[in-house]
Structure 1
Amino acid sequence: MNEVPITRTETPVDEPITMINAFTVPVEESETFLPLWMENAEIMARQPGFVRARLHRSMIDDAELRFVNVAHWESGRQLEEALGRPEWQESAQRLLNDPGLHITARPSIYEVIVDLQPSRDGSTTPVTS
């Protein structure tokens, strides 16, 4: 039985954070993976502090990281609380231990340190934290 990969920071922060989870999923198992991921994501979307999640799929079939989830939270503390909920834990176990899936999840927590956006005049100005 796979353990649920819980990503924790040293000290949960009250500032906004981004959780990025990259998944290795064999291409032929993609259609099995998607509904289980959606079930899990919908549980998280109902939790306090959830802002947004976007699941990206590689356009290259033999990419090692077939899916990448980028989720934004109002705070690291709220993400930590959501990760501890039994409903989410059970859903994550179903995803990781499905006999039809051979996946690896690689979650981590990130903070924005550079935000690069185009300006009106076409130049770019990085904003660093």
Structure 2
Amino acid sequence: MPTLRPLDPSFPIERQLGVEASPVVLVNVVTLDPGDEQAFLAAWEEDALFMKRQPGFISTQLHRALGDSPTYFNYAVWGSTETYAAAFSHPEFVAKLSHYPASVVATPHLFQKVAVPNVCVA
């Protein structure tokens, strides 16, 4: 079972779920013991395949840190905080959390795109 650690302790993911926003981007930095990488990747793949079938899922991408660091970064786009919350509280997903190695520490946080004139769109 992974340990969840807030990116911003003053506004953890549980509080973020109460904010109505659409769309949202989940950013999750994951650290783990090097010997647990294959088990982590298998569990993440299983979860990603489940999430792809959930209402509101748009996309996801997993990234690995360079070199010997067993640190991963997941970026997932959801239609809204409501659809994200429904998927992540789904009993099938909650049951899958036990498949993760005990060394996994996940740091999830929700974001929205920001428009900056002449640079990027929201």
Shorter-chain TM-score tier: 0.7 to 0.9
Give the secondary structure class of the aligned counterpart of 2:22: coil
- Aligned Cα root-mean-square deviation (Å): 2.5
**Residue 115 of structure 1: how far off its partner (Å):** 6.2
CA contact (8 A) 2:3 2:106 kept: no
The farther-off stretch of 37-46 and 8-17 is 8-17
**Residue 94 of structure 1: how far off its partner (Å):** 2.2
| Pair 1:111 & 2:112 matched | yes
Residue in structure 1 matched with residue 41 of structure 2 by the alignment:
34
| Pair 1:22 & 2:29 matched | yes
Query: Matched residue pairs, number?
Result: 115
Residue in structure 1 matched with residue 120 of structure 2 by the alignment:
127
Pair member with larger Rg: 1
Q: 2:91 aligns with which of 86, 89, 102?
A: 86
The separation in 2 between residues aligned to 1:93 and 1:29, in whole angstroms, is 14
- Identity level (%): 24
**Residue 36 of structure 1: how far off its partner (Å):** 0.8
Aligned counterparts, 1:26-105, within 5 A: 26-62=33-69, 66-95=71-100, 98=101, 101-105=102-106
TM-score (norm 1): 0.75
**Residue 60 of structure 1: how far off its partner (Å):** 2.1
- Check 1:110–1:14 CA distance in 2 against 1; reply closer, same or farther (3 A cut): closer
Unaligned stretches of 5+ residues in structure 1: 117-124
TM-score (norm 2): 0.79
**Residue 2 of structure 1: how far off its partner (Å):** 5.4
Unaligned stretches of 5+ residues in structure 2: 6-11
Indicate the structure whose relative CO is greater, using CA pairs within 8 Å and at least 6 residues apart.
2
CA contact (8 A) 2:2 2:106 kept: no
- Check 1:3–1:105 CA distance in 2 against 1; reply closer, same or farther (3 A cut): closer
